[in-house]
Structure 1
């Protein structure tokens, strides 16, 4: 390796390290913001939404008054959203999840904290979908439709189905087109893992097919994209 190649690689590595420090700093601060909402230990994993992403969701709920919420993929976000709803004394969360065993785990976390009344779980196995890109399975709409029915959705949080490999990289695309008919007059959509190519493409396709959808990406600060049909107040 030449001297200049070494310098370029060294500079690139320094930039990556700076990004990591920025991301970790944002997440550490976010955990302090989140602490008052929950009691007891919560089982964090690398699959959970980053704390700074959760803070943006909660900020949007409070600032822009979004309290009919649908999430794709249950987890820690379920607990935090329900905790905020109890604190605000309003709102309801509809949580789609394909894994019945995981629903039981998350439901138990809610029960331990007295939050179960704020959440309706929808067990929707992954099946072929007419809305999918490249044939990726999505949640069974036969399970979703009777529960959501004519609900007006203020906020849609898309953190599922799993989309971490090549075959499923566009698995989250159907969410916005499917729920579009249920969106309220002023709504937002949050897409997690926006650092990945698959989610970036999903976001591009959403904006291409859903009129008036605006978006802002927070790659280091939360790892999410926030889309809305109106400008609203900033949550970043």
Structure 2
């Protein structure tokens, strides 16, 4: 009995150490976006470094250029920095329900000198309220609500679906939770996607015939 207990403890500690080492590795990959910039407030609400690294990989490798995200925050700031240091022609439509929080995120981007590609939208009824061009959306990041009345994130797909291009990536965070897993399953029935990537805390739906795996190293 004691041996089994000790084995379980050992396995749990080993998993924790492995996760910490993996997080440190991803943070190293992201270091150009973290060092010598304005400070970013990281909390337990923020997505993990593997999620952020995967987003950066997707933008750079598949050349995603029109991005819609639900939930302004760390991802907004890092994508704006990536656009600046890699000289990327991207448009980031960042949607949030909290004007005060969005203003704080915008202030960090302003301090970084990276506000150019970011369009902040607070509680828009439609994407057209802030998107005034015909460019098709090729990347969606869902880590917040789609509209002020939404009780969950399920409506994000309906919100952006009319604007999706033929090739796209949709990131959904917190798929370790039952509600988000149900949302993901529902989305799979609504849209055509060629691939699904599942990580510990998030998933990605892809529609890309020329599939090139952008999953961060050691995450697969």
Q: Does TM, normalized by the shorter one, top 0.5?
A: yes
For 2:80 and 2:66, locate their aligned partners in 1 and report how far apart those are by CA, in whole Å: 11
Where in structure 1 are there 5+ consecutive unaligned residues? Answer: 125-139
TM-score, structure 1 normalization: 0.80
Q: How does 1:31-180 map to 2 (within 5 A)?
A: 31-38=27-34, 39-89=37-87, 90-124=89-123, 140-142=124-126, 144-148=127-131, 150-161=134-145, 168=151, 171-180=152-161
Aligned-partner SS, 2:154: coil
Task: Give the superposition deviation at 1:8.
Answer: 5.2
Paired residues in the alignment total 207
Tell me, in whole angstroms, the C-alpha distance in 2 between the residues paired with 1:116 and 1:214.
Answer: 33
* Aligned with 1:21 (options 17, 20, 34): 17
1:183 corresponds to: 164
Q: CA deviation at 1:141?
A: 2.1
Would the alpha carbon gap of residues 209 and 19 (structure 1) be closer, same or farther in structure 2, given more than 3 Å must change? Answer: farther
Asked if the contact 2:193/2:205 (under 8 Å) is kept, the reply is no
2:187 is the alignment partner of 1:206: yes
RMSD, aligned CA: 2.2
CA distance in 1, matches of 2:63, 2:85: 14
Q: What's the offset of the Cα at 1:12?
A: 4.3
Deviation by residue 1:29-84 (Cα, 9 ceiling, x = unmatched): 11111121241422110000101110000001111110111100000110110111
Tell which deviates more after alignment, 179-188 or 204-213. 204-213
Task: Flag structure 2 segments of 5+ consecutive residues without an equivalent.
Answer: 216-220
Measure how far apart 1:174 and its partner are: 1.3
TM-score w.r.t. the length of structure 2 is: 0.85
